[in-house]
Amino acid sequence: MTEMAFGTVPVQSGEPVIPRWWRTIDRWSLTCILVLMGAGLLLGLASSPPLASRNGLDPFHYVTRQAFFSGLAMVAILLASMMPPAMVRRVGVIGFLAAFAALALLPFFGTDFGKGATRWYSLGFASVQPSEFLKPGFVILTAWLIAAGQEINGPPGRTFSFAVAIIVVSFLALQPDFGQASLILAAWGVMYFVGGASIVLLSGLAGLVALAGTFAYNGSEHFARRIDGFLSPDVDPRTQIGYATNAIQEGGFFGVGVGEGSVKWSLPDAHTDFIIAVAAEEYGLIMVLFIVFLYLVITVRSLVRLMRERDPFTRLAGTGLATLFGLQAFINLGVAVRILPAKGMTLPFVSYGGSSLIAGGLAVGMLLALTRSRPQGELGDILLTRGR
C-alpha cells in the first residue's frame, strides 16, 4: 500500500548496483543535466575563442578545459548519485569541514586575480574556489542539524544551524562575496521553513538581513558600487551589464546566427558570468527559454519527488540542494537581464569554471541520490523508531 501511495520502487534482494541505480534514479533530471552540459560546451565554442586570442592561447583552450571539467563533473554526479542518504550525510559533513577550513585560510593564501575579492587558490595550472564546494556541504550539515532537532530529546538543531549559517555568511561577506552569502542564506531559510519554522520568525530574520545589507552598503565600496549601478536608471554601455543588455536586445527571438554575435569580443566574462548573453545574441530568445526550461524541470521534479519522502534529513537536504541549484540559475539570469544587481555567479553547468562544474556535479549528484525511488516504510514503523 505504501508503494502504491508514494510511487516507490522496492529494492530487489541481491540486485546489482548499476541496474538498481538506473531503475531508481530520476532519469528526466539526469538527462536535463547532460543537456545543460552540452549547451555549455556549445556556448563555450561561441564565447571563449576571443578571450583565448587575447591571452595568446589556442582558440579552443577554454573549450577543451571545460570539456575536461565537465567529464570530472559527470564522474562526480555518477558516484554521488549512487550513495545512500547516510553516506551523503557523512560525505557532506566532511566536505563542509574541509571547504570551510579552506575558506578561512583564503585571506592568508588566496588570490583575487585582480577582481577585488579574494575567493580563489591559485594552483598554477588551475584555480579552486572553496565557496563552490562549501555550498553543498553546508546544506547537508544544516539539514542534518535541523532534522536532529526534530527528534524526541534531540539537540537544539535549529539554533545550531542558525549559528553555522551566520558564521559561514560572515566569512563570505568578508571576502567580499555577497552573492554566495545571499545564496547560502536563502537556501538555509527555505530548509528552516520546511523544517517547521514560523513565518513570523523568518520575517524577523529577513529584517535582520535587510539591516545587515544597509550596514554593508555603508561600509563596503564594492557592495555600494554594485547596488548604485543596479539602481541607476541609465546603463553605461561600456560596462558588462551594458554589453549584455545590448546583446540580448539584438538577439531577438531567433538570434543573429551562430558565430555572428559581437558581444563575446567585448565582454571579458562572456564565457562565465554572462554566457547567457552570448546565447541570447546568437541563438535568440528560443535558446534562452529552452535553458530556463531545463533548470525548471530539474528543480521542480526534485521538489516533487521529495514531497513523498518521510525521512526528515532526506527531505530537508534535498530541498536545500534543489533550492541552491535553481536559485543560482535564477540569480545568474536575473543579473544578465538587470532585474538583480551584479553578483559574479556562474550559470550551473553552462558557464566555464572548474570549481563551479565539479562542485555543481557533486551537489546535483547528492540531489539525485536523495530523490531516488526507495521504500518509505510504514509510517507507524518510522514513528516507533524515532520514539526509541
- Tens of pLDDT, residue by residue over 121-155, are 988 778 899 999 999 999 999 999 999 998 888 89
C-alpha grid cell for residue 47? 564565447
Q: Which of 244-248, 251-255, 306-310, 355-359 is predicted most confidently?
A: 355-359
Q: Is 12 within the bounds of a domain?
A: no
Higher pLDDT, 116 or 166: 166
Indicate the pairing of strand 127-128 with strand 121-122.
antiparallel
Q: Is 192 within the bounds of a domain?
A: yes
Q: What is the mean pLDDT of residues 164-183?
A: 90
How many domains is the chain partitioned into structurally? Answer: 1
Q: Is 16 within the bounds of a domain?
A: no
Alpha-carbon Rg of the chain, whole angstroms? Answer: 21
Is this structure's pTM higher than 0.85? yes
Report the 10 Å Cβ neighbour count for 73.
27
Report the 10 Å Cβ neighbour count for 254.
12
Peptide bond into 341 cis (omega under 30): no
Q: Is 202 within the bounds of a domain?
A: yes
How confident is residue 1, by pLDDT bands cut at 50, 70 and 90?
very low
Q: Is 217 within the bounds of a domain?
A: yes
Longest CA–CA span in the chain (Å) reads 66
Q: Is 243 within the bounds of a domain?
A: yes
Q: What is the mean pLDDT of residues 15-37?
A: 93
Q: Is 261 within the bounds of a domain?
A: yes
Average pLDDT of the chain, as a whole number: 86
C-alpha grid cell for residue 263? 558581444
In sequence order, what are the beta bridge partners of 122?
127
Angle at CA of residue 295, ends 300 and 286, nearest 5°: 125
- The answer to whether residues 92 and 141 touch, using CB atoms and an 8 Å cutoff, is yes
Instruction: Give residues with Cβ within 8 angstroms of 379, minimum separation 6.
Output: 310
Q: Is 1 within the bounds of a domain?
A: no
Domain span at residue 356? 25-373
User: What percentage of the chain carries pLDDT values higher than 90?
Assistant: 52
